[in-house]
């Protein structure tokens, strides 16, 4: 029995299928809006040997009847500890504390080494796990690195898992022996088979592994274009984008912004031909669903204008996850307006030309300002800007440039709105920069809390009391938490457990545990430092990232014209 108003859930009672508890360690509303989570759910329920039931972080405020904090499956209200396989799908690092938290709440020992023959196998995948699985290492039997690929059904993770479970008769009496079956499985990381040694300075000296396991775990890339396009299969009014058909129309981005992990690890860039998801789009138009195109490089999709025109000409609606200014052609803007889009998002990320050059978003301010005029004139009343603060080499002057940039944008916005007889608003979102693994900025330190707060205030004060302007900023403690977990190693797992035990909706870690934020977060790392995430391999040479980092932070100050 699934939630009222939800459609698309699979309810399989086939005794022979291996039931997997698929866990999104955040609220139902958030997890259901995640296309990656939905894709795994669909994949497993169409796999000949598996079925999956969903779990989300219980929210007693929403579901008081669900026995408080005990996680129960959406499909059949089964408890988590009755499944032999638990698979966490985790796109965001701040949900890591919920992994030990949910295991604990279900009576499952959170630490892998404490689990016995009758305890389930626990694994995790998702973007954050692929970037750096190490903070979760002590909790996991397996981590999946990369993208699920149906072409690997015969040799991939789930084929090997089905075989190993059948051979062990579902009793993990010899867990280590069981896990050795995954030695040659591409994309599978078995953390208990790896040993990290540290120097007296706390830095990783060496990563050792058991015989037969790879020195580095190569990520799986779903490169075949003949596979079905990931689309949402579950719909619910309770969920973010709940009634939209989400379509992965593109994967990867070749733009190479220095801070963007998704852009780097999802290379090569892949575009899905419209013919591959036209049928689903037709059904969405017929049933009145908005079609949400998801992709990090929609601007580069060769059929973008044709797809949008097709939808709009048939009376359908679309939304775009985010799009680079280059993708906002006059035609795309007209189509956006026709589909009733009320807000367009632009992400300059930095306002001074010098800093945009440092971060690899080397577009002139005029390109953004021109778009403001065009978007408003075409009938899109609201504009949202994304900026980061705390970027490498950033100065107060760079941050003051945000004030100047937004002020100019606002003048253009007001002028373009006047003939229309109405005025919307400009939203400015300020996010602290986090140096993510697998990017050229992985060597950079994250700015300290007081610097971040001061720079956010600089923008807030510079723009205060301007009508039609709303400034929002991401919580600094949450950004620091994300930074610490992103860059952490298996030594932070005890702090994750403690945070998971007291987590309500927003776990805290930074400054409350015996972790040194300078060591994990704020110091610039040496060129030859071994990173915890060096144990995985996304096919990008570390020297290449290093070369780009060194060149980026050397952009001379004379290119600081705005
Ligand atoms: S354009 Fe966007 S998706 Fe592409 S690398 Fe830059 S930030 Fe990432």
Task: List the structure tokens of 548.
Answer: 């780009």
Q: Up-side HSE of residue 313: CA atoms within 13 Å toward CB?
A: 6
CB contact at 8 A, 537 and 219: yes
Using the mean position of ligand 1's atoms as its centre, give its distance from the Cα of residue 296 in Å.
6
Q: In the sheet that 121-125 helps form, which strands lie side by side, from edge to edge?
A: 50-56, 18-24, 85-89, 121-125, 142-144, 188-189
pLDDT at 562: 47
Atom of ligand 1 nearest to the CA of 361: 6
pLDDT at 501: 81
The answer, yes or no, to whether any atom of ligand 1 lies below 6 A from the CB of 253, is yes
Q: Determine phi and psi for 59, rounding to 5 degrees.
A: -125, 95
Query: What phi-psi label fits residue 278: left (phi over 0), alpha (psi between -120 and 50 degrees) or beta?
Result: alpha
Atom of ligand 1 nearest to the CA of 256: 5
Of 361, 358, 380, 508, whose CA–CA distance to 444 is shortest?
358
The answer, yes or no, to whether any atom of ligand 1 lies below 6 A from the CB of 488, is no
The rounded distance, in Å, linking the Cα atoms of 139 and 125 is 13
Size of the chain, expressed as the number of residues it contains: 562
Q: Is the dihedral of CA 207, 212, 216, 220 positive or negative?
A: negative
The rounded distance, in Å, linking the Cα atoms of 516 and 445 is 13
Atom of ligand 1 nearest to the CA of 360: 6
Domains and CATH numbers, the chain: 18-218 (no CATH), 244-341 (3.30.750.210), 342-474+526-562 (3.30.750.200)
CB contact at 8 A, 493 and 137: yes
CB contact at 8 A, 267 and 254: yes
pLDDT at 62: 57
Q: Please report where in the chains the tokens 């992990």 appear, as a residue.
A: 261
Contact partners, residue 288, CB within 8 Å, separation at least 6? none
Residue 247's DSSP bridge partners are 231, 293
The answer, yes or no, to whether any atom of ligand 1 lies below 6 A from the CB of 263, is yes
pLDDT at 507: 58
Of 217, 207, 141, whose CA–CA distance to 184 is shortest?
217
Identify each DSSP E strand in 158-288 by its residue range. Answer: 188-189, 194-198, 204-209, 217-218, 245-248, 250-251, 270-271
DSSP secondary structure string, 123-145? EEESHHHHH--GGGGGG-SEEE-
Q: Which residues of the chain have pLDDT under 70?
A: 1, 13-14, 60-69, 503-514, 557-562
The answer, yes or no, to whether any atom of ligand 1 lies below 6 A from the CB of 372, is no
Residue located nearest, by CA, to atom 3 of ligand 1 = 296
Residue 246's DSSP bridge partners are 292
- 204-209 and 536-537 as β-strands: parallel, antiparallel, unpaired? unpaired
Using the mean position of ligand 1's atoms as its centre, give its distance from the Cα of residue 256 in Å.
7
Mean pLDDT of the chain: 92
The answer, yes or no, to whether any atom of ligand 1 lies below 6 A from the CB of 296, is yes
Q: Which of 257, 298, 363, 368 to mutate to test the pocket of ligand 1 (most atoms within 8 A of CB)?
A: 257
Q: How far is CA 192 from the centre of its chain?
A: 25
The answer, yes or no, to whether any atom of ligand 1 lies below 6 A from the CB of 324, is yes
Using the mean position of ligand 1's atoms as its centre, give its distance from the Cα of residue 257 in Å.
6
The radius of gyration of the chain from alpha carbons, rounded to an integer in Å, stands at 24
């Amino acid at each position: 029995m699934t939630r009222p108003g939800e459609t698309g859930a699979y309810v399989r009672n086939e005794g022979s299928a291996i039931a997997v508890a698929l866990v999104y360690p955040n609220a139902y509303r958030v997890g259901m809006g995640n296309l990656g989570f939905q894709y795994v759910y669909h994949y497993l329920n169409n796999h000949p040997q598996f079925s999956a039931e969903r779990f989300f972080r219980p929210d007693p405020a929403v579901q008081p009847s669900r026995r408080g904090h005990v996680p129960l499956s959406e499909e059949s209200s089964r408890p988590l500890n009755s499944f032999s396989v638990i698979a966490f799908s985790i796109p965001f690092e701040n949900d890591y504390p919920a992994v030990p938290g949910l295991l604990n709440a279900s009576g499952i020992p959170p630490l892998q080494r404490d689990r016995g023959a009758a305890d389930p196998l626990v694994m995790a995948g998702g973007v954050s796990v692929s970037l750096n699985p190490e903070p979760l290492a002590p909790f996991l039997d397996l981590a999946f690195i990369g993208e699920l690929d149906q072409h690997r059904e015969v040799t991939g993770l789930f084929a090997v898992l089905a075989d190993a479970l059948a051979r062990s008769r579902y009793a993990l009496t010899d867990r280590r022996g069981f896990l050795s079956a995954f030695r040659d499985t591409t994309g599978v990381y078995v953390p208990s088979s790896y040993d990290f040694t540290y120097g007296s300075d706390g830095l990783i000296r060496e990563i050792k592994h058991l015989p037969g396991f790879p020195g580095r775990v190569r990520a799986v890339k779903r490169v075949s274009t003949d596979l079905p396009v990931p689309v949402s299969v579950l719909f619910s009014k309770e969920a973010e984008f709940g009634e939209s058909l989400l379509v992965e129309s593109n994967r990867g981005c070749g733009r190479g912004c220095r801070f963007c992990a998704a852009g780097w690890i999802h290379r090569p860039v892949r575009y899905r031909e419209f013919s591959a998801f036209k049928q689903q789009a037709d059904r969405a138009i017929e049933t009145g669903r908005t079609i949400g195109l998801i992709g990090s490089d929609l601007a580069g999709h060769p059929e973008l204008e044709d797809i949008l025109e097709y939808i709009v000409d048939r009376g359908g609606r679309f939304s775009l996850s985010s799009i680079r200014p280059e993708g906002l052609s006059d035609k795309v803007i007209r189509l956006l307006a026709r589909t009733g889009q009320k807000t367009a998002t632009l992400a300059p990320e930095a306002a001074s030309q010098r800093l945009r050059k440092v971060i690899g978003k080397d577009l002139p301010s005029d390109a953004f300002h021109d778009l403001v005029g065009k978007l408003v004139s075409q009938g899109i009343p609201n504009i949202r800007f994304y900026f980061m603060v705390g970027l490498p080499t950033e100065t107060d002057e760079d941050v003051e440039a945000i004030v100047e940039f937004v002020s100019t944008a606002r003048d253009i916005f007001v002028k373009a709105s006047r003939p229309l007889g109405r005025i919307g608003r400009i939203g400015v979102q300020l996010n602290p920069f986090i140096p993510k693994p697998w990017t050229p900025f992985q060597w950079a330190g994250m700015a300290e809390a007081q610097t971040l707060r001061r720079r956010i205030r600089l923008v807030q004060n510079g723009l205060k009391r301007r009508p039609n302007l709303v400034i929002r900023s991401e919580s600094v403690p949450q950004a620091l938490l994300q930074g610490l977990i992103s860059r952490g190693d298996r030594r932070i797992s005890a702090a994750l457990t403690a945070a998971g035990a007291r987590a309500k909706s927003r776990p805290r870690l930074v400054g409350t545990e015996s972790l040194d934020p300078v060591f994990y977060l704020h110091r610039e790392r040496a060129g030859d430092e071994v990173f915890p995430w060096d144990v995985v391999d996304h096919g990008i040479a570390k020297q290449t990232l290093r070369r780009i980092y060194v060149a980026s932070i050397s952009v001379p100050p004379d290119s600081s014209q705005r």
